[in-house]
Chain A
């Protein structure tokens, strides 16, 4: 490889050693009383120890389950409702103002009330995830359905398609890119809300692990947990994009999300 090529690649990854150096310096200088900020080395040691024991994988799996469970439920409800609202003006007029009342409130604010009504368990734990991912999916679905080109619909109607066929073969596929944008955004929100949700009702998961690390005074575990959350979130997002671009949108040339 030529030096230029090496430099180009180096440019992209030089931030890693820079960050590690800054972090080490930070760890040396910052104290909490006599408590040092965990250095990169200690953090990675802790991370590896957690990984080796299998605890980390268990927690990752639990978090993935929680977010997957909540996200699927939210997607099903939001897409169905979105298609209905996007297509039918009457339904839209009835529901939209009411939903607009609820939309500005942040998901974390509903956490205490969720426990008041449902207590602890899987449903209340994932309810927040459902709420957090609901609105992006819904809004993007409505947008997608409303913006389906009129001529497709007219052409289909002219060709004598029934309403159901119209929906299944024309409207939903045409709205698909928007729906997928909404799903991706919704998943991002779901992952964000997951940590707050894991405060309440669950006995496993990355958020739970971080919570326990605070009360047992293990800042290395906190950072290790944070890094894992970031990496898993990133991995899922990239996976989502790759899968969608490869398999689902192949037929819509030129559309990449």
Chain B
């Protein structure tokens, strides 16, 4: 008998207990489906999908694609606006003083709180979801960028200026690279927020998407579809996390000894 990894043992034990409990009918009153049902539904959804209005059958792959589209647009918008804003706030004291208090007031506002208002005025469809995702990712990205730029060691800047670098060169060659780890932290958190908002952002006004899939499944009382959706969301979240860590490692290769 080969020695199983400890963590694997827990996972197997959990799924076995779940399967046994459902076989004995203990979980029916809670509407929790058996693991094999969830598995079957998961692959069925991937290959055949569910019926969506006039579009016919939509597979879970397509739904994931739609959700990813919204998250990417929202996330890159957050990067495009958040990174320069954070940079200017970190670089220029006046700008920081000007914007900082607005940040402090708007930041604790949960992204989901924007859903009713943006639905009212941006209407149904992708726009509302993208807006909610943007707002969720914007604050971590800009605040972490600001902190990273602020914390660039003064001695590097002084050394560079002594060596006669122009301002642009200074920013490009010294400031941004040394702020990069902090910026990446913000980007990672922002991406986590962006993908994490996919379910909340798709609650009301979109037809396809992983979040929409979960809400539709709730209407027809199919918890197996809900669990399949959750699994797929988790898988993509894991993939995104790995991807950004990989990117970070490659871009920061030159910082030896840096542990994330």
A and B touch in the complex (CB under 8 A): yes
Bound form: Cα–Cα A210–B204 in Å: 15
Flag whether B154 is at the interface (Cβ < 8 A). Answer: no
A-B contact count (CB 8 A): 145
Q: B10 near A97 (CB under 8 angstroms)?
A: yes
* A192 contacts chain B at the CB level, 8 A cutoff: yes
Report B247 CB to chain A, min CB distance, Å: 17
Asked whether A196 is an interface residue with its Cβ less than 8 Å from the other chain, the reply is yes
Contact of B113 among A11, A96, A110, A210 (CB under 8 A): A210
Question: What CA separation (Å) do A164 and B8 show in the bound complex?
Answer: 30
B121-A37 in contact (CB<8A) = yes
Judged by a CB distance under 8 angstroms, whether B156 is at the interface is: no
- Looking at chain A's contact residues, the main secondary structure is helix
B65 within 8 A of A: no
Tell which of B7, B218, B227, B241 touches A97, judged by Cβ atoms closer than 8 Å: B7
Binary interface profile of A, 190-202, with partner B (CB < 8 Å = 1, else 0)? 0111111000000
Q: Could you say which residues of chain A place their CB within 8 Å of the CB of B10?
A: 94-95, 97-98
The interface on chain A, measured as residues whose beta carbon lies within 8 A of the other chain's beta carbons, has a size of: 55
B residues 64-104 touching A (CB-CB < 8 Å):
94, 97-102, 104
Binary contact track B1-40/A, C-beta < 8 Å → 1, others 0: 0000111111100100000000000000011100000000
Q: Is the CB of B241 within 8 A of A192?
A: no
- Please pick, from B14, B117, B203, the residue contacting A226 in the complex, using a CB distance under 8 A: B117
Q: Which residue of B lies closest to A215 (CB)?
A: B116
Cβ of B152 under 8 Å from chain A: no
Contact check, B97 vs A11: say whether CB atoms are below 8 A apart. yes
A13, CB-defined interface residue at 8 Å: yes
Tell me if B61 is interfacial: C-beta within 8 Å of chain A: no
List residues of B (100-118) whose CB comes within 8 Å of A's CBs: 100-102, 104-114, 116-117
B131 within 8 A of A: no
Q: A106-B233, A195-B110 are in contact. Are A116 and B223 (CB under 8 A)?
A: yes
Residue A188 at the chain B interface, CB threshold 8 Å = yes
Partner of B112, one of A93, A116, A192, A233: A192
Chain A 105-133 per-residue mask, 1 if CB under 8 angstroms from chain B, else 0: 11111111100110000000000000000
B6 contact from A12, A93, A110, Cβ within 8 A: A93
Residue positions of A touching B, CB distance < 8 A: 8, 11-16, 19, 30, 32, 37, 90, 93-98, 101-102, 104-113, 116-117, 188, 191-196, 207, 210-211, 213-214, 219, 222-223, 225-226, 229-231, 233-234, 237
Would you mind naming 14 contact pairs between A and B with Cβ atoms under 8 Å apart?
Answer: A90-B6, A94-B9, A95-B10, A96-B7, A97-B10, A98-B14, A105-B233, A106-B198, A192-B111, A195-B110, A214-B116, A219-B120, A222-B120, A233-B108
Besides A97-B11, A98-B14, A113-B223, 9 other A-B contacts (C-beta < 8 A): A11-B94, A15-B98, A16-B101, A32-B121, A104-B234, A105-B230, A109-B229, A109-B230, A109-B233
